[in-house]
Every structure is written in C-alpha cells, then in structure tokens.
Structure 1
Amino acid sequence: MSDKGLFVRGSTGLVREAGFVDAVSVNVANMSVGAALGTVGFTLASLPSVSGVNLVAASIIAFTLSIPQIITYTTLTKHIPRTGGDYVWVSRLLGPRFTWLVVGLVVGFIIESLAYYALIAIAGVGQLGTMLSTLGINISFTPLEVIGIGILYFAIVVFVNIMGTKYGIRLMTVLTIASIVTLFLALAVLYVVPKSVVISRVSSLLPSGVTYSKVASQYTGPYFALGPTIMMLPFFAIYIYPWLQAAPAIASEIKSRRAINWNLPTSAVLSMIMVTLGFAAMYYSMGFRFSTMAMANGYVNFWSAAMVASGNVVLAWIIGIGSVLWYLAVLAYGAIVIVRYLFALSFDRILPEFFSYVSPRLRSPVYAHLFDLVITAALIASAEALYSTFSSLYGAVVEALIYFALVGVAAAVAAILNKVKLSRGVRVTLAVASILMVGVMGYISYQFLEYPSIWGGNPLAYGVEIGAVLVGIAIYFIARHINLRRGLDISLVFMEIPPE
C-alpha cells in the first residue's frame, strides 16, 4: 500500500464486462419479482385481515412511489458512475464531516443485504420443495437440510464469481433471462387456459376436504380498500421497488453510456409489469376471492398454480425449474453487487486492503467474495436455526430504507448546493425527486416499525442491523486512527471522486 496516495491504487483493476442486457438483468434480479410472487402468501397470512388487500393496486402504488428514487439514482449514476454506486455518492456529497455516519450505515446496508440473501436462500429451498410436491414428488426438508441447501445455493454462485467477474456476470444474466422467460410462460398459461380448467386443476392442490368454493367463501370484503392495500407497501419494499442500487454499484464496469443511462428505468418498468401481471393473472384465472385466501392459507402460489394449470408435465417442469431459478438469480446478483461495496470501502482505506485485492489471473476480488460467503452462510444458519422461518429477517430491511433516505438527503444537497455540474432543469428535478424519495423511505420505515409482528421486528433482525451500524462506525474511527499514524488523513479521501 502506498501511504502517499489517497486511494489504495490509481485504478480499481476491474474490467468493463457488463453490457446493457447485463445491467438490466442485475437490476431485475435485484428486484426479485419471482421470489415475491412465490412468497407473498407468508405476508398475507401475517396480516390482521386480508379484506380489501389488492395486490395489483398495491404494486402500482408502490411503483409510483418509487419513481422519485428512479429519477434520483438514474441522475447520479449518469454523473458519478463508480464502483460502489450510492456509497460513493453519499460519502462525497455529504463530505468528510458525516463520513462516520455514512460508513456506519453502509456497513449496516451490507449486512442487511447479506441477511436478505440468507432470506432468499431459505425461501429458495422452500420453493424447491413446493415445486417437487406440485410435481408429485413429496419431500420435506429438515432445518439442517434447509441450511445446507441454502448455503450450497450461495456457494455455487460465489465460486463462479471467484473464477472470474465475467463468468459471474454471465451466470447472473443467464439465470435472470431464463427466469423471465419462464415467468412469461407461466403468465401465458394462466391467461390462455380457460378459467374453469384452471380452477379444476388448481383444486388438486387443496387439502383433502377443502374445495374451491369453500376457500373462496372465506373471503369477505371489497376487492379493494386503500388502507389495507397500503399495508402491503413494506412487502414490495422488501422485494422489489427500492432495490435500484445494483447496476449503479457496478457502473464503472458497464461498457456503454446508453447502458448506464437507461438500465434503471428499463428494469424498473419491466419488473413492475411482471409482478403486476403476475398477481393480475391469479385474480383473472382463479378469481380474486379464491386467490387471496388460497395464498394466505398457503395452498397455492403463482408458480404452483401455473404448473398445475398447464396440464402438461414438460411445461410444469419448465415453469417449476424457472421458479427456483429466480431465487438463484437473486443470489447471483448478490454475489456481484455487495462485493463492490466491500471493494469501494477498501479502496477508500476504510476496510483492509485485501477486500479490494483483484486477482491478476482471475480478475476477481477473491477475498471479498469469500467474506461474503462466510457471513451469508452464518446468517442462513442463524435465521433457520433460531426462527425456522425466512421472514425472521424481514425487519432488517429498515436499515436499508434509512440508508436509501440518506442517499436522498445527499442528492438533495447536491442539487440545491450545485455540488454536481447539472443544468438548471436537471437540478430542480433532482431536488424534488430526492426530497420525495426521503419522504417515501421514511413512511415505509414507519410501517415496518409500527407493525413488528408482521414485518419481522425481532431481536435477530434489529440486533444484526444495530450491531452492524455500530461496528461500521467503529471501523471508520479505527481506520482513521491507523491511517493518521501512517501520515494520511482519510477524511481527504471523501473530498475526491475515486478513479475508475
């Protein structure tokens, strides 16, 4: 390490491997549409009442509320395309005075993301079991098996990334595209097969003695009520709409300016279309009342409904495999993106230098990937062993929402004080969008905290995040002390945009 340079070295050493399709794919994987369609029943079951909850309307409302964030992230990605994305924006726009807070929240965000990957790995094992049972292969997994399979899922994608960044990106893109194709295949089944046939075939998934009419009759209330529908906003915050940081985090590895400019709007709209059509397809093919109660009781989800509705073994297998691939795609994006945050912190001399080490042969940040695997594996084991449910880590999302709110604050400061060279029109748009973004993140955070029994407010989730933020703050002051002894004030780092 050179003690004279602000950064660990003069360039990141990472190579531009990602095209437009890769950039869109990493965002779509980040937004976890397939996982949301498969697991929404767990949330419906936790609500005090599902009366008036309309998932199509909730999706549209949640997307509308995400538009300020889409504008904010797109604008900043265009003007500051660096490894680490929003971490670089916030730390530079707020400046050295607030670096301790930024680092604390970023470390908390990293751990929250790893907790989310643990959640997805556990849910992916559950979807595997659902797929097999729907196909007539009855199997149940013990907690130890869930832990083992979940860790195996993540280990596979991590080791592919270790073998080379381009392989990790290609794996993520292939998994995401395959997942999207199977989702549209499932949509086609639910929209094309006659409703009476779908209902007849889906009825085979119901327990003995339970009928379609009996399930449908359990629902009472309107097709839509604003209050209950808005109660579902945290669900979309857990899975889909705020998760726009993936491509910005690898922006310095994206090949073209077109890909940098358009990947976020494209992926956000595509994800909105897929998840909204998914819920609409269930309402259309099976009826609103039955779909709501069947999901809330755990009888059926989007994927199992499409599999049996197809009436074709080959199609059922394809859709079933695609449903599991969605979870693997999320893990594949995670193995790429969160390592970029570790890399950026190391590049700024906050974390040890080995986190930003790039293997000359593999062109991959090997040690950062291994750290990612170890921490995520521990969280998978903790969530399953202590709570035996993937929703036990839902509450950790609050920290991410607070972090996103801080991004909004930094963007507002940049626009109002003209810290980034922008035209007057762009400055005004960014200022308005970022302020609205802060308000949205604040409101959804309130929903999480107001209803902890629904949204995973437990000692594991909150403890992990509070501890991570405190550790992050401590890491900053320790790093500053160590570097001062070497003659370098790292606060100066946060007055400069890092090299590509």
Structure 2
Amino acid sequence: MKDLGEKPFRLAKDIGLLAIIASAISEEYGAGINAVTTSTLSVYPGAEYLVPLAVFLSGIILLPKVIMYVGFGKHMSKSGGWYVWMSRTLHPSIAFVVSFVRWVVVSAAMGIVAFTLGSFVAEFLSLLGVHGAVFLAEPLGRFLLGLSVIWVIFAIQFSGVRRYGILVSIVLILIFIEAFTIIVIGFFTPSSLFISLVSSKVHVTLSPPKSVGPVSASAVLGVMGLFLFSYSGLSGAPFLGGESKDAKKDMPRGILISWLTAVILYTLITLALFTVAPWWAVIDLLKSKASYFATAPGIVSLVAPNWVGLLLTGLVSIIVAKTIAPIMMEHSRLLFAWSQDGILPKSLTHVNRFRAPDVALFISSLLATVFLTDFTFINFNIGLVMSAVALMLLIAFLGAGVIVSSMRRVKRDWEKRISSLIMLVGAVGGIIIAAIIIPSVIFSTNVPFYFQPWFQLVISIIVAIVIYVSAELSYRRNGRSLSREIMEKLPPE
C-alpha cells in the first residue's frame, strides 16, 4: 500500500497530547453528565439506584473500542480517524456508510447543543438577577444565542487548529473545576437537606416509595445504551491524527487517558448526585414542573451556598457551549477525509492561510445552523439513542475490519502491526457488545416511526449508499474504480 506522505502537508501539525485529551473530554463532557445522567430515570425508572452502575458499565464496555483505537492510533493516525481505518481494513463503501450515519448524528448534535444552551444561560443570568433572562429560554432567544455560538466557534477553528487546541485545553480546566465541585458537594451533603430544601424552596413534596420492586435489568441496559452517547466523544479524538505533532506517540496515549478520565469522572459525579438526591426523589422532580432541580447544576445550586450554585451554573453554560467545538472538528474532518478519497468534491480539502480546512468547517457550521433551526422551529429530532446505534455500528464494523485484515495471507506493514492478539480480542469483544446493545436501543417505545432510531438509521444508510454509488459510477465512466483506489493507498494526511 502506498502512503502519499511525500506530498507537502496542508493541515497544520500543531496538536499535542494535552489538546488530544482535552478535545476528547470536551466532546464527551457536556449536557450528558449535567442533565441526561439523572433524566434517564424519566425513560427508564426501573433502573432505580443502579444508574451509577449503568454509567460506569457504559464506559467499561467501550474497552474493546479503546483497545482498537489505541492500536490504530499508533500506526495509522490520519485526519479521517476511524473512517480511514475501517475503509482500508474492511471496504470503503462500508466505512462510508457507517461514518455517514455517525456524521448525521453529529450534525444533529451540534444543533441540539446550540438549542439546549439557552436554558442553561438563562438560568445563569436569572441567578445574577438579569432582567429578561428568560428570553434566552424561549425559542427565538435559544436560536439567536445558539447561532452566535456556532459561528464564533467556526471563527476560532477557521483561525487554525492551534487555537482550537488552546480553547479545549482551557475548557478542560473548567471541566475539572465543575466536576470537583459536584463530587465534593454531592458526597458531603446529606440527602435529608436536599429533600427539605426541595419542599421549602421548590414547593415539591418528595417521599420515598412505600414499596420498591426489583430493579429491571432491561432498564439498566437501556440506561447504558442511552448514556453511551456521552462516551461517544472519544470517537472524535482520532480525527486530530492529521494535525498532531507526533501522532504515533500522542494519539494512543491521548485516547487511553481520555477514556480513563471520562469513566472515573462520570462514575464519581453520578454517585455524588444520587447520594445527595435519591433516585426516587429525582423521579418525582422529573415528573414535576421543577425538573431543572433534577439536573446536576439544579441539585448543587439548591444545597450549596449561592455563590457556588452561581459558579457551577456559569461553568455548565460554558461547558455545554464548548461541546460544539470538538463536534464541529470531527464533522469537518470527516468531510475532509471523504474528499481526500474522492467520494466528495475535492474542494472540501481546501485549506486557508491558517492551514485549517475552511470549506469543510463552513459546511459543518452551516449544517449546525440548519439543525438548530429545525430543533427551534420544527423539532424533528434525531435523538440520543440514534447516537448509541451509530457508535455500536462503528465498533462492530471496525472490529470486523481488524479480523478481515488479520486473515489476509499477504499483509501490508500496517496490517501486520494491527493484527496482534490484543487487537483481535478487542475486535471480537466489540462485535459481541454491539450485538447485545443494538437490539436494546434500536426501537423506542411510544415514539412515532419517523422518530424511531431504526427508521432514521435506514434513511441515513440509503442516502449514504446513493452518494457512494454515484461517486463510484463517476469513476467508472473514466475507466477507474473508486473503491480500489481508496484501498490501495493511505490518504496523505
């Protein structure tokens, strides 16, 4: 296999280990841990007190994925990340379809985050006593705020990946401050205080259930599937492979450290939240009109001194907003990678004077705006569960790629390096886990068919097939084979 690395690199090589770690954690740590952790009980109340265990297991079952990412990251770090790995080990058409499904999910994710941001900022400004802060929680306010954040983040990334690295590294510090605050307050505040304050300040009476049934195993599995999206940020880190100073050294270490950090933080935070706010109290709050107080900032602002609650709410606003940055990075680098391979027009590989993929970034920001508009005024939702399905498909087919590569009689140098026993163990483990998780999340109860994960998945696959077949036919009209050319070479970056 040729590696066109002899061509001058266009993307800036400005990313180090810290930025890789910060990017991964920044994409993972956001609205998920601050809101979804507790709100899962509105969907799966049968999980009860085992939500923290489900959150922990959600991270642990991704170990096969981490093993494969570390192995590939050491030997094949490119700007296309796992798309490049899958397309060269399995087949470009399969890799494109799987990555397109993920791309659709992250397209929607940017819009969801931008839309959600308004409620966090409105709460923060209300605590400051700002008149009219509620406007930001209304549709138009959400739209204008989200739109501003999307294009500010575009401007930062347009100015170069180095500034992106600085942004996520600064935010990483804020994440640790927020996490430490939640953990300390959660573990050292008696639940009785929380319950009494909900009654006196929120005017919601909380009382433990008279009888508690057995914990539902299917509900725990459902929470795991729902929470997988919070760990999916790890899938974005490999897309910095084409812009890393020393990808072979920093990418595998960055992936491993990011995963360990996320598992530890998520588990401790969830345990802390459910220590101060019992699971049955959270369920009652979620059913009330005061569901905000079932979120991480809501719980802490209620039991902590006012200045701590204010600080935490402000941090959460920043942390949620920054989530758009790593998602946009991943989204744009997928466009860049597809363009390098000839699936999309070559114009998407254009870089500006800062050596950033400006055209791809612009398209990503434009799509984020489209989805923000959708969530604000139309509300056609590509949900969190779809993200879990996309992640499991990624793991399963990447695992299949490792197995297929290991079975080839004549192996290229990089194939020999990724055919180790531990990679095969990770591949088989990933396929097994995906086979267990996908059936539990592919169907949603009491949801119209057009919001069903399976329906959105089918539509995404059909669109991806049409795009890939069109590109292949275009090549064949010129007597060439798109799939063969992709398989024969690694992208230049």
What is the Cα deviation at residue 339 of structure 1? 0.9
Calculate the aligned-residue CA RMSD, in Å.
3.1
What TM-score, normalized to structure 1?
Answer: 0.86
Q: Distance in 2 between matches of 1:266 and 1:286?
A: 30
> Which residue pairs with 2:321 in the alignment?
328
Partner SS, residue 443 of structure 1: helix
**Aligned residue identity for 2:309:** A
Q: Distance in 2 between matches of 1:423 and 1:395?
A: 34
8 Å contact from structure 2 (residues 336, 349) kept in 1: yes
Of 436, 441, 445, the residue aligned with 1:443 is 436
Alignment of 1:379-390 (within 5 A): 379-387=371-379
1:354 aligns with 2:344: no
Of 113, 121, 124, the residue aligned with 1:120 is 113
Q: Distance in 2 between matches of 1:280 and 1:74?
A: 29
**Aligned residue identity for 1:387:** N
Alignment of 1:129-278 (within 5 A): 129-133=122-126, 139=134, 141-193=137-189, 196-203=192-199, 206=202, 208=203, 210-211=204-205, 215-218=206-209, 220-221=211-212, 226-240=217-231, 242-256=232-246, 257-278=248-269
Q: Distance in 2 between matches of 1:28 and 1:410?
A: 26
For structure 1, which runs of at least 5 residues remain unmatched after alignment? none
8 Å contact from structure 2 (residues 160, 355) kept in 1: yes
1:458-486, Cα deviation, whole Å (9 max, x unpaired): 34866654443333222223223334455
Partner SS, residue 46 of structure 2: coil
8 Å contact from structure 1 (residues 415, 428) kept in 2: no
CA gap of 1:419–1:69, structure 2 versus 1, over 3 A, is: farther
For structure 2, which runs of at least 5 residues remain unmatched after alignment? none
What is the Cα deviation at residue 442 of structure 1? 2.6
Q: Distance in 2 between matches of 1:65 and 1:280?
A: 19
Partner SS, residue 212 of structure 2: coil
Q: Distance in 1 between matches of 2:145 and 2:30?
A: 22
1:226-248, Cα deviation, whole Å (9 max, x unpaired): 443222112211222x4422221
What TM-score, normalized to structure 2?
Answer: 0.87
CA gap of 1:83–1:51, structure 2 versus 1, over 3 A, is: closer
**Aligned residue identity for 2:121:** L
8 Å contact from structure 1 (residues 51, 222) kept in 2: no
Partner SS, residue 149 of structure 2: helix
1:17 aligns with 2:17: no
CA gap of 1:262–1:396, structure 2 versus 1, over 3 A, is: closer
CA gap of 1:183–1:52, structure 2 versus 1, over 3 A, is: closer
8 Å contact from structure 2 (residues 58, 225) kept in 1: no
1:351-392, Cα deviation, whole Å (9 max, x unpaired): 111111011x2211111111111112112222333338x674
Partner SS, residue 52 of structure 1: helix
**Aligned residue identity for 1:90:** M
8 Å contact from structure 2 (residues 76, 85) kept in 1: yes
CA gap of 1:391–1:499, structure 2 versus 1, over 3 A, is: closer
8 Å contact from structure 1 (residues 449, 457) kept in 2: no
> Which residue pairs with 2:470 in the alignment?
478
Q: Distance in 2 between matches of 1:73 and 1:366?
A: 27
**Aligned residue identity for 2:277:** M
Q: Distance in 1 between matches of 2:467 and 2:151?
A: 27
What is the Cα deviation at residue 294 of structure 1? 3.0
CA gap of 1:350–1:426, structure 2 versus 1, over 3 A, is: closer
What is the Cα deviation at residue 148 of structure 1? 2.8
**Aligned residue identity for 2:158:** I
CA gap of 1:461–1:226, structure 2 versus 1, over 3 A, is: closer
8 Å contact from structure 2 (residues 41, 48) kept in 1: no
CA gap of 1:424–1:325, structure 2 versus 1, over 3 A, is: closer
